[in-house]
Amino acid sequence: MFPSPGSPSPTRLRPVNAEWYGWFWTVVTVLMYIWAFWIVFDSARPYAWLVATLLTIQLVMYIRAIALSRWPVPNLWLAAYFIPGPIMWAVCTWFDPRLWWMGMMYFGQMWGCLPPKAAVPGTAIIMLAVLPATNGWRSLEDIPPSALLGFGFGWIGMVAVYLWISQVIRSSDERARLIRELESANHELVIARERESDLSALRERERLARDLHDTLGHTLSVMSVQLEAIQRLYRVDPERGSEHIDELKTLTRDSMSELRRSLDGLRAPGLGERQLVAALQDLGVAVGQRAGITVHCEVDPGVSALTPALAETVWRVAQEALANVEKHARARSAAVRVSREPQSVRVTISDDGVGLPADAEGRRGHYGLRGLRERVEGLGGVLTLARLQPGSRVEALLPVYIETPAAGS
């Protein structure tokens, strides 16, 4: 049921209050019509039944068009009620001037139900009809100036208050709409980030499978060939067979080290038990010891407060870039720099090696950098690869989202 006041009131109401507000004014309006019926039949005036019939039609129209309609009331119902209704009221007042006050009921309902462009002229017409009705239906020229001024200033004051309230409510509704849109966008962003997190995990598993195929699969194939060669050589040339066994041992150890690094890629080691700063420093030490190079690691303390998703990505960027330095760069030194900026975190890994090839990301069978770019861009970040003189630089800029607590938490 739509709120339909019988006296001046705000033009729009919140849905949570509209039902009770509407019931209240419906009861008031019905009581006012009962009072009007009592006035009509209280004295034996001519045309009493005609006036009562018109009042009945107005009440039925009010209940159907206003009381039983949902908010907002369709324009067709508003027109069906507010155009013939005041005309029937004017006819009733012509036969029984004591019903002039019912015009003020229409006056209030227009403030409550119509937009300003319709309420302002509509109430002006009602006011111009009430004024002669309260003065014995004399022409406007015969009405005292004081009465004209009183009604005029009263109407202007009501219009001013009405327009002010309308503006306040429109502003409030606009703010509410923007808040709802913001909440909806934030909800969609959370869903998108969750989906991207799942997609990133899937891409990481695919990358790991490709890495295992490129490293462990290749090594096992070589070992199979070596074993067949040893089997043939050992009978005729044990010394050469022994050399092949030594090579096979070295290949096996290298393969085990590579396998450990690949398995470590399933999770960010140590991030569950210690800060990202310590994990990155340990990574630099480990790579430096394995590759025989100097790895300088500089990490802002503020990165320890990053969300798990961002910390994981920072780790992956450093891990993949240092893995490339270790395997391909032939560098003497490398540097890892992680800086926390107001709205982002920047990860930079540079080295003094031979530099990245021009097709580093597009090389067939090598998916590390390509997967890393997908991971970074999945979080809304930017990955930049640069070839230096000498060396190369891998840089990732990741946005930092401020987490807001859930409602009621």
* In the predicted structure, residue 7 carries a pLDDT above the cut 60: no
The more confident residue out of 221 and 381 is 381
Determine, yes or no, domain membership for 390. yes
11-21 confidence digits (pLDDT tens):
444 444 556 66
**Segment among 17-21, 201-205, 381-385 with least mean pLDDT:** 17-21
Of the chain, the percentage scoring pLDDT greater than 90 comes to 7
Average pLDDT over residues 264-285: 69
CATH number, domain at 401? 3.30.565.10
Q: Is pLDDT of 273 > 60?
A: no
Sign of CA dihedral 346, 266, 279, 366: negative
- Which domain-ending residue is among 109, 143, 177? 143
Mean pLDDT of 339-352: 89
Mean pLDDT of the chain, nearest integer: 77
pLDDT at position 15 is 46
In the block, which residue shows the tokens 């998703």? 309
- Distance between CA atoms of residues 219 and 225, nearest Å: 10
Q: Could you tell me if residue 156 is inside a domain?
A: no
Higher pLDDT residue, 278 or 142? 278
Residue 358 structural domain: 273-409
The whole-number average pLDDT for the span 119-144 is 74
pLDDT over 80 at 318, yes or no? yes
- Domain assignment present for 74: yes
Asked, for residue 9, whether it belongs to a domain, the answer is no
Q: Is 259 inside a domain boundary?
A: no
- Residue 260 in domain: no
Q: Is the pLDDT of residue 316 over 80?
A: yes
Tell me: pLDDT of 267 over 70.
no
Whether residue 232 lies inside any domain: the answer is no
* Mean pLDDT of all residues in 60-89: 85
198 lies in some domain: no
Among 120, 143, 166, the domain-final residue is: 143
Judged against a pLDDT cut of 50, whether residue 261 lies above it is answered with yes
Least confident window among 56-65, 194-203, 281-290, 330-339: 194-203
Of the candidates 143, 165, 200, which is a domain's last residue? 143
Residue 227 is predicted with a pLDDT of: 79
Q: Quote the pLDDT of residue 328.
A: 80
Domain count, the chain: 2
Q: How confident is the model at residue 348 (pLDDT cuts 50, 70, 90)?
A: very high
Question: 23 pLDDT band (50/70/90 cuts)?
Answer: confident
Q: Which of 142-151, 171-180, 196-205, 399-408 is most confident?
A: 171-180
